[in-house]
Amino acid sequence: MKPFEVVEAPIDAQVYSNYVLHAGAGAVTLFTGHVREWTHGVRTVYLAYEAYVPMAEKKLAEIGAEMEAKWPGVKVAIAHRIGELHISDIAVVIAVSSPHRKAAYEANEYAIERIKEVVPIWKKEIWEDGEEWLGAQKKYPDKGVDSV
Amino acid sequence: MISIQYFARLRELAGKGQETLDREQMTVQELLDWAEETYPGFGKDDIQVAVNEEYALPEDVIHSGDECAFIPPVSGG
């Protein structure tokens, strides 16, 4: 594995948790984002993710560097899966270790927010009666797009 | 020659993942204008351009040999 990667195979979150764990770490937070069946009353059959892979991996690494600058002592690994994902599959994993728990929690949440802002990855929702790329158009005009 | 990549909605709209444009140089805004004209419904106002895997500004200049990508609003996570 690479610490910041886009993958096509199913994600084994433990691999990333193990990567960030070291003797100086007193806490590891492991976030996994999953494919949800129901979003604002609309049933998802599956999701199709695609990425501009080299740039996405570069942006994930940049987010890792931002986290290390903001929370000194954290160690980070992030992976995002692309391709066809089904209900409950892991789409994204963020593992953060730190000497103390507060930084591990805060840095982990920061990472998912930044992923949603800057990493060139796109999700298409496939429903029983149609499909749509998220991001550009909004299927849920009153709620906005809220995926994880 | 400038290479261009399309993703997600734009890939489907263009009907291709990549192509090349026979230009020596142009600005990012000119590239967006060209795309809007070539592919009606492109929606250039909501699209960013990456040049050599880095987000670029409308006034940045693209040169022959650069790798460009149109980045519609992202939706990872």
Q: Give a yes or no: residue A147 inside a domain.
A: no
- Return phi, psi of residue A140, to 5°: -120, 80
- To test the contact with chain A by mutation, choose from B45, B49, B71, B75 the residue with the greatest count of A C-beta atoms within 10 A, namely B75
Of B5, B11, B75, nearest to A135 by CB-CB distance is B75
Distance (Å, whole) CA A11 – CA A134 = 22
Distance (Å, whole) CA A21 – CA A104 = 12
Distance (Å, whole) CA B57 – CA B55 = 7
What the block records as the tokens of A66 is 């931002």
Write out pLDDT tens, residues A12-31: 999 999 999 999 999 999 99
Distance (Å, whole) CA B74 – CA B25 = 27
Single-letter code of the amino acid located at A20: V
Distance (Å, whole) CA A58 – CA A48 = 21
Query: Tell me, what's the pLDDT at A135?
Result: 81
Distance (Å, whole) CA A141 – CA A90 = 26
How many angstroms separate the first and last alpha carbons of chain B?
Answer: 34
Query: Tell me, what's the pLDDT at A30?
Result: 98
Longest pairwise C-alpha distance within chain A: 51
What is the model's pTM?
0.93
Helix (H) or strand (E) holding B8: helix B8-14
Looking from the CA of A56 toward its CB, the CA atoms found within 13 Å total 25
Interacting residues of B43 by C-beta distance below 8 A, sequence separation 6+: A136, B36, B72
What the block records as the tokens of A130 is 């149609």
Query: Tell me, what's the pLDDT at A148?
Result: 46
Distance (Å, whole) CA A104 – CA A99 = 8
* A83 has a chain B CB within 8 A of its CB: no
* B74 has a chain A CB within 8 A of its CB: yes
What ipTM score was computed for the predicted complex, to two decimals?
0.96
CB-based contact B8 A50, cutoff 8 Å: yes
Separation in Å, CA of A33 to nearest CA in chain B: 7
Closest residue, chain B, to A116 (C-alpha):
B76
- Return phi, psi of residue B19, to 5°: -160, 175
- The CATH fold assigned to B2-71 is Ubiquitin-like (UB roll) (3.10.20)
* A7 has a chain B CB within 8 A of its CB: no
* B3 has a chain A CB within 8 A of its CB: no
Per the structure, the count of domains in chain A is 1
Spans of all domains in chain B? 2-71
Handedness of CA B29, B30, B35, B41 (dihedral sign): positive
Write out pLDDT tens, residues A108-139: 999 999 999 999 999 999 999 999 999 844 44
The band of A93, judged by pLDDT with boundaries at 50, 70 and 90, is: very high
Query: Tell me, what's the pLDDT at A139?
Result: 45
Domain that holds residue A14: 4-133
What average pLDDT does chain B have?
Answer: 97
Q: Which residue in the block uniquely carries the two structure tokens 């409308």?
A: B58
What the block records as the tokens of B29 is 């805004």
Question: The CATH number of the domain where A44 resides is what?
Answer: 3.90.1170.40
Interval A72-87 mean pLDDT: 98
CB-based contact A116 B7, cutoff 8 Å: no
- To test the contact with chain B by mutation, choose from A4, A32, A52, A80 the residue with the greatest count of B C-beta atoms within 10 A, namely A52
Q: Are A148 and A92 a contacting pair, CB within 8 Å? A: yes
Of A52, A112, A123, nearest to B75 by CB-CB distance is A123
